[in-house]
Structure 1
């Protein structure tokens, strides 16, 4: 009887050992485990999809990117964070936000799930080109290059084993910016000092390098960008610039449409002045580079017509 009991003990211990071995073998794939650095997929959350696209181009197969704002038909200024966004941020290893007052909801999400090991990039803070009271830093091609470098550096820290690949992808990203820079130079050569109108401030980051002369009163642009009613005298000036054909093109942000901007757009069409829609959020079918290039090509055509 004692022999039978001993056999049971040995059998039990053997089965327990096998179970522990299987558990340890499966443990590497369990949620919360630390993956091997050579196969690590970095979880990235971008507040806006253009930053998510840059992260994807640099990170390649080593990143899993989720962009919160991705609909070009929605006004980003009216976005409110939800539970899904909060959950995504809580799991992120790298978070990219614009900051500068543009997406304050992201800071609230970060505060709600503190994580000392999470890397956060604030594009506005590292941008080299900044305009007064204008947080749309991603519209500067030079800033896009700076932000891509910051993303690359962060990915290399999170996954050192793939550093060479990240550097190579960054070089490809920078090379794909060259046609955009060339188009800016071409338009500046052909249309320097051409008078244009803007419904808001977003395009100022390109109108400067393009050498265009923005006539719309700054207080009008600023008010529309901030969701406020422009001063009456600024509205009258903007309307007169159109009805008297003082501008060659009206560039409007189709994500911040108001009755006033719609009236300006209609006035421009009635006056045979080309109108050019631009967006704050990148269309889902494009990359950052061809998004910017397509808009510039459309601008070149509009200026040519006028």
Structure 2
């Protein structure tokens, strides 16, 4: 082989190595808010696919398409909620095994068990755990860009501080205020705000797709008719019959109502979504 051929081969090898190093880390997130956090931590070094994106869709009725399975096949990192919220992910991962794929399960990070409230993203203590695990996993998967991931993590954690400040301010003003909800979607955030959440048995029944008992239904109706609660929170992505009836009664009784979602609105970061939800809570409680 002559010198020109050797030089050409060396150049080609360098280009190939550089291209492989520059290839983005493929991440699949079951829910769009985890996808947003993955993009914030990964920056330009990741390619993120989100599965649940539609804020008008009931996540509990989701059925995975073949394209989801294909995306998981090529993913190096997978992030999902766990805690029985997205059981279809376990099935898909079992059907598409990969030895070098890393998984991040929020329920495991938060030490939640089957039967616990699975709406973990509304717990202010949880998303920092997810972000830190993402940064650690990315640093291990892509060491050349470890400093960027560490820097992005610090930026993300700093961007959560306004949420913590708003929670603290609302709690100082409205702690112990009685509120109710059709299901425990907002439960962790309500607890962080110090609100007195009522009718929790009714909420668990709706979450588990069972009919609330007559006594739980009567207690809920009494709270609304007698204005024993200052706010009615409902899941705007679900249409359970019992919950729909309570929503109608809340409006009829003049109790302020607030719809919350299980997926982030299109085009909004996780931080902006949480801040908007908190602003809506504060506005409703002020009535």
- What range describes the TM-score normalised by the shorter chain of this pair? over 0.9
Q: Aligned pair in 2 of structure 1 residues 175, 131: CA closer, same or farther (>3 Å)?
A: farther
- How large is the Cα RMSD of the aligned pairs? 2.3
Q: Aligned pair in 2 of structure 1 residues 58, 247: CA closer, same or farther (>3 Å)?
A: same
Offset at 1:104? 1.1
Match of 1:281, SS state, is: coil
How many residues align structurally?
Answer: 283
Distance in 2, Cα, partners of 1:57 & 1:161 = 18
In the alignment, structure 1 segments of 5+ residues that lack a partner are 1-12
In the alignment, structure 2 segments of 5+ residues that lack a partner are none
Distance in 2, Cα, partners of 1:130 & 1:209 = 20
Structure 1 residue 86 corresponds to structure 2 residue 69: yes
Offset at 1:139? 1.1
Distance in 1, Cα, partners of 2:148 & 2:116 = 37
Offset at 1:137? 1.2
The structure 1 residue matched to 2:242, chosen from 260, 266, 273, is 260
Q: Aligned pair in 2 of structure 1 residues 117, 28: CA closer, same or farther (>3 Å)?
A: farther
* TM-score normalised by the chain length of structure 1: 0.87
Distance in 1, Cα, partners of 2:86 & 2:14 = 38
Q: Deviations over 1:67-111 (max 9, x none)?
A: 000111111111111101000000101100111111111111111
The structure 2 residue matched to 1:115, chosen from 93, 98, 107, is 98
Q: Deviations over 1:142-187 (max 9, x none)?
A: 1000110001111111111111111111111111111111111111
Distance in 2, Cα, partners of 1:268 & 1:209 = 24
Of the two, which has the highest radius of gyration? 1
Could you say which residue in structure 2 is the equivalent of 1:274? 256
Matches within 5 A, 1:205-284: 205-216=188-199, 218-284=200-266
Match of 1:141, SS state, is: coil
Whether the 8 Å contact between 1:48 and 1:97 is mirrored in structure 2 is yes
Could you say which residue in structure 2 is the equivalent of 1:285? 267
Could you say which residue in structure 1 is the equivalent of 2:126? 143
